[in-house]
Amino acid sequence: MKSFYTALLFLLIIKLNVLGQSKDKQFSIEYTRPVDLVNVFLGSSADHGQMSPAASYPFSMLSICPQTYPKTHTGYEYLAKKFLGFTHNRFEGVGCQGSGGNILIKPFLGSDATKTELIKATEAASPGFYEVGFENHIKAKLAVLGNAGLESYHFPKGEKGFYVDLAYAFNGAFVAEEHQVKNNTITGWIISKTTCGVGKYKVYYCLQLNGGAQWKDLGDHKLTATLNTQSTTEEVSVAFSSVSSAAAQKAINKTGFEEMKAQSAKDWNTHLSKIAVAGELESAKLFYSLLYRTMQSPYVISETDGQYRSTKGELKKDKEIRYNGWAIWDNYRTQLPLLSLITPERYTGMLSSIAELYESGKKDYATQTEPSNTVRTEHAIVVLLDAYRKGYPVDFKKITDSLVKEVDHLDYKSPDKALESSYDNWALSEIFAILKNKEKADFYRTKALEYKKYWIKDFKDMTKRDVDQMQARGLYQGTIWQYRWFVPYDFKGLMELDGGEEAYLAKLDEFFDRDLYNHANEPDLQVPLMYNFTKDVHKSQYWMHQLAADTVIQNYFNDNSRGIGSYIGQIYRNQPQAYLRTMDDDAGAMSAWYVFTASGFSPACVGWPIYYLNVPLFPTVTYQLPKGRTFKIEVQNFDPKHKYIQSVFLNGKPFNRNYITQQDISAGGVLKIVSSAKPVKNEGLEQWISSIE
C-alpha cells in the first residue's frame, strides 16, 4: 500500500511539473507584460529588415543607438564588434542606405579620442533602453522618454572624455549646423538630407553634461569634452525639437536614469497591451517584437505648449499633437490602418498632420524644410478617405483644391505608375461624392476607369518574355506579374478584364504555383487576399497563414535580382537575421502585415472599412477599444496547422461572411472562428468585392 501512495505521489509531482512547464511555454497578458517579450534585436543584422535596437519611445523623434563598423541602414549591425559611438536618430526599416545618424558621441579614454577603440564585450536592450560594455571597461546605458533621453556612462579612473561630431549623418547626408557651447550645454540645430536624399530636415537639439567638463572646439563641427580624471560616471541629457533649441533645452528630462527607463518601459507596455494575444510563448514573443516595430514612426513634432513647425518650416501652434516622418507609400495598407485601430487617440492628430501636408504644398517625397526626417507620402489621399470612412474627422473642403492639384499632376509614364495614379483618382472621386459634387465625382471616376486601357496594354498578355523581370518597362521594384493585380478599388473590373472568374483564378494560381509573389516588397502585398471574392476563398486563408508562419520559396529580392540564391524558409523569424534577404520593414509596413494576419483579419482595400478573415495564429486575440470596449477573436479547434475557416460566429450568432467591417470591430464583442485542417466550401457565403461602379 505504501508503494502505491509513493507511486501516486510521484505521478502527481510529474503532472504538476508538466503543467508548470506548459504554463512557462504559454503567454497571457494576465501574468506577463508584453514589453518584456520584445526582442529589439529582431531584424538588426545584415539586410534582413533594416531595424535597430535603439533606445526609443513610441513615435519619438529621438532614438539613441550605437553606430557600428560595419553598419546597416540604421547605423547598427548586430554582428559588429567595433563601435564608433552613439547617434541620436534614424528612420527604422527604410531603404536608400538609411537616413539620420545625427550627433555622434564617442566616449574615450586618454587624451586622444582617435586612440580609443570601442570593442563590444556585453550588450542588452529592451523597449526604451539599451546598454553595452566595452573591452576597455567603458559602459554605456541609454534611455528615451518622449523626445528626451539620458545617456549614462561608466569610466575607469584616469583621463577620459567625449568626442562629439555634429556633422555626422548616414551616407554623407549632413548639410549644415550651428551650435553654441555654454558651460556644460551644447544647443543648436542640424540640417541633413532626408531618406533617399530627396529633401532636407532641420532638427533642434540640446545636449547637456550633468557633471563638469572642459570643452574644446576641434573645428569642422567637432568638439571634445574632457572629464574629471577622478570621476567614474557621467550622464548626458539630450532632447530634440522641431521648434527651437530653446524648446529642446526646456524638454530636457531631469528624471533619474532608472526612473526614466522604468517609465519608458511602462509606456511601451501600455501601447503594446492594446492587443492582447494568448497562446504559445515563442509566438507571442515574435508578435510583440513586430507590434513594437509598428509604433516607431511617424514622429511627434509638437511641444507640450502646442508649438510645432510645418513642412514649410513655419512655426505654428495647435491643441492637437502634430506628427511628421512619413513612409506612406510603404505602409498605407498595413501600418497606418493598424494604428487607426490601436491608437485612435493619436491617429486623429496623424490625420490632421497628413491633411496639413496639402496646405503646406505637399510633395511625393520631401520638402527642403521638413521638421523631421521623412521618406514619402504617395497615396495620402487614400489614407484620408479610409480614415473618414472609419469615423475619423477629415475636413475635405479645406484641402479640396490641393487634392485636385496633386491628382491632376500624377504620373502615368510607367505601367505601375498608371495603376497607382488611378487609385488616387478613385479616392478623389469618392471624396467628391462625399462632398455631394456629382460632376467632379463622375469626372474622377472616369479618370480612374482609364486604368483599364493601361492594364490591357501592359498586364493582359502574360506570354511576353519580360513579365517576370524586375523593373521591366520602367517598373519600380517589381515585375509585370506582381503589379498586374494592383487595382484594389475595382477587383470586380479586374476580374472581368482577366476574362472572368475561371481565367482570373487560373492566372492567380499560376502566380503562386510558380512562386512569382514577392513578400520582400510592397507592390503585390494584397495579392494573397485576392481569392476572397472568388469560389476559392480557402486559398487566401492558406496563403495568409503560409506567408506569416510557414515555409515559402522566395525568388525576388530588392537588389532587383531573381533566382539568385532563392530563399526557402520562414519569412518572420525572431532573430537578428529575420525577414527575407533585402526585405525592409519599411517603417512598420511588414510588421503590421504580420500583426493583422496573426489577428485573423486584414484590410481588403484601403479606402473601404472592410477586412478579410483568416485563421488567427493564436487561440485568442483581443483588441482594446475606446470607452472600455474590446473586440475579441477566438479560435475553436485551434491548431498551428489549421489554416482554413470552417465557420464563424459573431457574438454567438452564425456569421456567414468572409469579411468584417469597421463597424463590427468598433461595436466590440466576440468573433469566434472555427478552424479546420482541410478547406471548407461555405455554401451561400456572403463575400465582399470592390467595384468602381
Please say which residue of 212, 242, 272 terminates a domain. Answer: 272
Which pLDDT band holds residue 24 (cuts at 50, 70, 90)?
Answer: low
User: Do residues 575 and 552 both lie within one domain?
Assistant: yes
Cell of 658: 468572409
In the chain, count of helices (H) and strands (E)?
A: 18, 32
Task: Look at residue 562 in the predicted model and tell me its pLDDT.
Answer: 66
Hunting for cell 494604428 — which residue is that? 339
> Residue type for 197, please?
G
Provide the edge-to-edge strand list for the sheet that holds 644-650.
Answer: 26-27, 275-280, 620-624, 630-636, 669-676, 644-650, 653-654
* Pair (467, 376) in one structural domain: yes
User: What would the pLDDT profile of 261-302 be if each residue is shown by its tens digit?
Assistant: 999 999 999 999 999 999 999 999 999 999 999 999 999 999
386 and 294, same domain (yes or no): yes
**pLDDT at residue 16 greater than cutoff 50:** no
Question: What's the pLDDT at 681?
Answer: 87
Residues 236, 322: one domain? no
The reply to whether 257 and 294 lie within a common domain is no
Give domain status of residue 56, yes or no: yes
pLDDT, residue 693, reads 83
Domain at 410, CATH number: 3.30.2080.10
Domain assignment of residue 301, yes or no:
yes
Structural domain count, the chain: 2
**Interval 433-452 mean pLDDT:** 98
Q: What is the DSSP letter of 370?
A: B
Which of 53, 36, 51 has its CA nearest to residue 281? 36
pLDDT digit string (tens) for 325-367?
A: 999 999 999 999 999 999 999 999 999 999 999 999 899 999 9
Rounded to an integer, what distance in angstroms lies between the CA atom of residue 320 and that of residue 298?
Answer: 15
Tens of pLDDT, residues 63-115: 999 999 999 889 999 999 999 999 999 999 998 888 999 999 999 999 999 99
Domain that holds residue 137: 37-272
- Residue 14 forms part of a structural domain: no
Q: Do the Cβ atoms of 586 and 94 come closer than 8 Å?
A: yes
Distance (Å, whole) CA 691 – CA 426: 11
254 shares its domain with 280: no
In angstroms, the CA 127 to CA 594 distance is: 19
Clarify whether residues 283 and 347 are in a common domain.
Answer: yes
C-alpha pair distances (Å), 502 with each of 214, 497, 507, 604: 77, 12, 9, 21
pLDDT exceeding 70 applies to what percent of the chain? 96
Q: Nearest-CA neighbor of 610 among 329, 348, 337, 347?
A: 337
Domain boundary among 233, 254, 272: 272
* Residue 268 and residue 327 in one domain: no
Residue 14 confidence (pLDDT) above 50:
no
CATH number, position 232: 2.70.98.10
272, 289, 314 — which closes off a domain? 272
| Residue 385 and residue 471 in one domain | yes
Of the candidates 287, 298, 396, 286, the one whose C-alpha atom is nearest the C-alpha of residue 343 is 298
**58: which DSSP letter?**
T
How is 116-158 classified by DSSP, letter by letter?
--EEEEEEEEETTEEEEEETTS-EEEEEEETTEEEEEEE--SS
Mean pLDDT value of segment 554-583: 84
Pair 623, 489 in one domain: yes
In a domain, 136, yes or no: yes
What does the angle CA 541 – CA 690 – CA 463 come to, to the nearest 5 degrees?
Answer: 75
Least confident range from 91-95, 139-143, 427-431, 680-684: namely 680-684
**151: phi then psi, degrees, rounded to nearest 5:** -115, 120
C-alpha cell at 599: 489577428
Is there a domain that residue 11 lies in? no
**pLDDT of amino acid 396:** 98
Burial code (b: 16+ CB inside 10 Å, e: under 16) for 593-605 equals bbbbbbbbbbbbb
Beta pairing class for 601-605 and 608-613 = antiparallel
32 part of a folded domain: no
The answer as to whether 16 is a domain residue is no
Handedness of CA 380, 381, 384, 385 (dihedral sign): negative
Mean pLDDT along residues 522-533: 97
Average pLDDT over residues 399-406: 97
212 and 279 inside one domain:
no
Q: What is the pTM of this model?
A: 0.95
Instruction: Check whether 451 has a pLDDT greater than 80.
Output: yes
Q: Given pLDDT bands bounded at 50, 70 and 90, which one contains residue 564?
A: low
Q: What is the mean pLDDT of residues 504-512?
A: 98
> Do residues 597 and 586 lie in contact, with contact meaning Cβ atoms separated by under 8 Å?
no
pLDDT, one tens digit per residue, over 651-690 is 999 999 999 999 999 999 999 999 999 999 888 899 999 9
Q: How far apart are CA 244 and CA 188, in angstroms?
A: 8
Instruction: Decide if pLDDT at 552 tops 80.
Output: yes
Q: Once rounded to an integer, what is the mean pLDDT over residues 451-469?
A: 96
Query: Which of residues 34 and 4 earns the better pLDDT score?
Result: 34
Cα–Cα dist 325/333, whole Å: 17
pLDDT of residue 563: 56
Q: Stretch 164-190: mean pLDDT, rounded?
A: 96
Q: Let me know whether 254 and 294 are in one domain.
A: no
- 567: pLDDT confidence band, cut at 50, 70 and 90? confident
pLDDT higher than threshold 90 for residue 23: no
324 and 349 Cβ atoms separated by less than 8 Å: no
- 152 falls within a domain: yes
Asked whether the predicted pLDDT for residue 432 surpasses 50, the reply is: yes
| pLDDT at position 601 | 98
